[in-house]
């Protein structure tokens, strides 16, 4: 069976998720399209890279991503670094002829994202941006219903991504709160997932009208070490610095096909952990999804008898998208890891079979255009076109 050598740039939380996906993919999808071999991992210094290699099962390690990209034995470059380095790494990897998977958002701005898309298109390499939530079986099932026409013409979309990990003002100043590194705040970090789901299920977004807020203006500075997000609280006499990105974004949406919608993303919603939801209404029915109950899709069809009409639960399993490769019993439990495993499979299959994969860098670029338009709209208080 063919083997593809993977070099992963970045050894943090997302590096763990991707490493598990490479290890687990052949266990779920057999025969696998190819075996992803964890060849080299790169981190910011040799000590951290050595630890990442031992922890995540990579053969070798480095602190120089440029030399790793030039390694002729490497087939895939996996980018799991902060947003400000995505463009440089991806463009160099494309020029070196490597296939690329990059964590979301694709880059800090539409301009950076466009350069990345142009680089992979010119190089002719396979490329994917890791919006893995769309690979949740229940979301793929909603897509199946929509494509089959079970909902009829889509009228409206309502999507949210609510978290509370940064609602405490003593949560440290992660790089995610710095515009120079992240590009934007809740919008780029989690709101882009909702944009991806909206485009995947309903279609292209043509126009937006948004508001943005920064509720916590400054945060304590963490002294060295790994970015802890909201898992530590820094109180007392601690140096604080300004937050220059959004904590919350709310937007109205107009889709190219005439549907309308709304999007809300915040990391300041006490009591919400990873609350990704959408509700879609069509002429013939509706679907509702909550990621915190990710084995379930709520459905209602206009053809249901009047005395039985209302949302009912479909528990995803073998009869549904990706079902044959996952667990043999509906509702046995789909987790974050499984969505990354499916993502890894689809990306590697695209390389082996020379097929297109989605979401790719073009999708990442379009999402960045929409995100930039939301920021512009929040500043101008006007509708902003995206196409």
Task: Kindly state the average pLDDT of the residues 141-167.
Answer: 97
In angstroms, the CA 365 to CA 189 distance is 15
What CA–CA distance (Å, rounded) separates 325 from 342?
9
E strand or H helix at 338: helix 336-353
What's residue 231's pLDDT? Answer: 59
Q: Model confidence over 248-275: pLDDT tens digits?
A: 999 999 999 999 999 999 999 999 999 9
Measured distance CA(236)–CA(242) in Å, rounded: 17
* pLDDT, tens digit, 9 for 90 and up, residues 271-329: 999 999 999 999 999 999 999 999 999 999 999 999 999 999 999 999 999 999 999 99
Question: What structural domains and CATH numbers belong to the chain?
Answer: 3-132 (3.40.50.720), 135-385 (3.30.360.10)
Q: Tell me what the pLDDT averaged over the chain comes to.
A: 96
Give the helix/strand (H/E) hosting 83.
Answer: none
- Extract the tokens encoding 207: 């126009």
pLDDT at res. 238: 80
- Percentage of the chain modeled with pLDDT above 70: 97
pLDDT of 230: 60
Q: How many CB atoms lie within 10 A of CB 379?
A: 11
Please report the pLDDT score of residue 273 as a whole number.
Answer: 95
Say if residue 215 is exposed, middle or buried (CB neighbours under 10 Å; 0-12, 13-18, 19+): middle
Percent of the chain exceeding pLDDT 90 equals 94
Cβ(195)–Cβ(263) below 8 Å = yes
> Rounded to an integer, what distance in angstroms lies between the CA atom of residue 317 and that of residue 322?
8
210 contacts: CB under 8 Å, gap ≥ 6: 249, 250, 251, 252, 373, 374, 375, 377, 378
pLDDT confidence of residue 266: 98
- Say how many residues make up the chain: 387
CA nearest to 90, candidates 132, 111, 120, 60? 120
**Mean pLDDT across the stretch 323-351?**
96
Three-state DSSP class for residue 92: helix
Q: Which two tokens stand for residue 326?
A: 């996952």
CB 380 within 8 A of CB 117: no
Instruction: Name the band, by pLDDT with cuts 50, 70 and 90, for residue 235.
Output: low
Lowest mean pLDDT among 77-86, 143-152, 327-336, 374-383: 327-336
- Write the pLDDT tens digit of every residue in 166-178: 999 998 999 999 9
- Phi, psi angle pair for 218, to nearest 5°: -150, 155
Residue pLDDT, tens place only, 214-229: 999 999 998 765 666 6
SS3 222: coil
Instruction: Look at residue 233 in the predicted model and tell me its pLDDT.
Output: 64
Rounded Cα gap, residues 325 and 329, in angstroms: 12
pLDDT digits (tens, 9 = 90+) for 1-58: 899 999 999 999 999 999 999 999 999 999 999 999 999 999 999 999 999 999 999 9
What is the reported pTM? 0.96
Measured between alpha carbons, how far is 12 from 18 in angstroms, rounded to an integer? 10
262, β-bridge pairs: 158, 252
């Amino acid at each position: 069976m063919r083997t593809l050598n993977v070099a992963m740039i970045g050894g943090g939380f997302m590096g763990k998720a991707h490493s598990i996906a490479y290890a687990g993919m052949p266990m779920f999808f057999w025969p696998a399209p190819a075996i992803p071999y964890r060849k080299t991992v790169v981190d910011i210094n040799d000590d951290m890279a050595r630890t990442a290699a031992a922890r995540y099962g990579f053969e070798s390690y480095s602190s120089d991503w440029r030399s790793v990209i030039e390694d002729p034995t490497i087939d895939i470059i996996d980018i799991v670094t902060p947003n400000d380095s995505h463009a440089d790494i991806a463009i160099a990897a494309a020029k070196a002829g490597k296939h690329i998977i990059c964590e979301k958002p694709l880059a800090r701005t539409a301009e950076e994202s466009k350069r990345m898309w142009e680089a992979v298109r010119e190089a002719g390499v396979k490329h994917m941006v890791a919006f893995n939530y769309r690979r949740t079986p229940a979301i793929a099932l909603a897509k199946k219903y929509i494509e089959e026409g079970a909902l009829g013409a889509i009228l409206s979309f309502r999507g949210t991504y609510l978290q509370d990990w940064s609602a405490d003002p003593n949560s440290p100043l992660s790089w995610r709160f710095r515009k120079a590194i992240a590009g934007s705040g809740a919008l780029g970090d989690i709101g882009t997932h909702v944009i991806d789901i909206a485009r995947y299920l309903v279609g292209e977004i043509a126009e937006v009208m948004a508001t943005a807020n920064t509720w916590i203006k400054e945060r304590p500075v963490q002294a060295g070490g790994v970015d802890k997000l909201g898992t530590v609280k820094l109180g007392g006499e601690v140096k604080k610095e300004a937050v220059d990105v959004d904590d919350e974004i709310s937007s109205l949406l107009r889709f190219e096909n005439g549907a309308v919608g709304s999007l809300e993303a915040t990391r300041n919603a006490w009591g919400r952990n990873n609350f990704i939801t959408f509700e879609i209404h069509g002429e013939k029915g509706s679907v509702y999804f909550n990621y915190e109950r990710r084995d379930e899709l709520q459905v209602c069809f206009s053809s249901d008898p009047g005395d039985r009409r209302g949302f009912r639960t479909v528990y995803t399993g073998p009869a549904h998208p990706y079902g044959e490769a996952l667990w043999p019993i509906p509702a046995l439990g789909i987790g974050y890891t499984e969505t990354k495993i499916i993502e890894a499979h689809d990306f590697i299959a695209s390389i082996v079979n020379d097929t297109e994969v989605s979401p790719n860098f073009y999708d990442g670029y379009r999402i960045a255009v929409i995100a930039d338009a939301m920021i512009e709209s929040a500043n101008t208080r006007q509708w902003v076109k995206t196409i």
